[in-house]
Structure formats: C-alpha cells, structure tokens
Amino acid sequence: LNTNYPKLYAGIGLIVVIICFLHIGAFFSPVFAVFGSALWQKVSVYALVLWSAFQGYYLLKIFK
C-alpha cells in the first residue's frame, strides 16, 4: 500500500475488491456459486457505493 494513502481507505477498497471478485467468480465457477445470490449482488453494489462515498470524502478533504 502507498504510504501517502490512508490505511482506512485502502482497507475498505481491498474489502470491496474481494467482495466484487467473489461475486464475479460466481458466474464462472461453481465453487463461488453461493456468492451469486441476490444478497451478494446487493452487498457488492452497496460496497461499491460506500467505497465511492469514502473516496469522495477523502478527495473533498484534500481539495479544501
């Protein structure tokens, strides 16, 4: 991780990437079939929206 980037934002981004890859993996492998449900689709979307909000807040703090 970059030392100029706060660990909180990087950790949230890493969690979002893992959630999204598990959801995408459900389409290609039966191993990840449990992550292809509607619940995980909602979790993926909400995680991306929250991650975008965190990134926007971080950028807002930088440019003020």
Structure-derived torsion over alpha carbons of residues 33, 39, 44, 48, reported in degrees to the nearest 10: 180
Does 10 have pLDDT greater than 90? no
Give the pLDDT confidence of 19-48 residue by residue, as tens digits. Answer: 888 888 888 888 878 888 888 889 889 989
**pTM for this predicted structure:** 0.72
pLDDT > 90 in the chain, percent: 8
Residue environment code for 22-61, b if the CB has 16+ CB neighbours within 10 A, otherwise e = bbeebeeeeebeebbeeebeebbeebeeebeebeeeeeee
What pLDDT is recorded for position 2? 63
The residue extents of the domains of the chain are 7-63
Q: Which of 55, 13, 18 is nearest to 40 (CA)?
A: 18
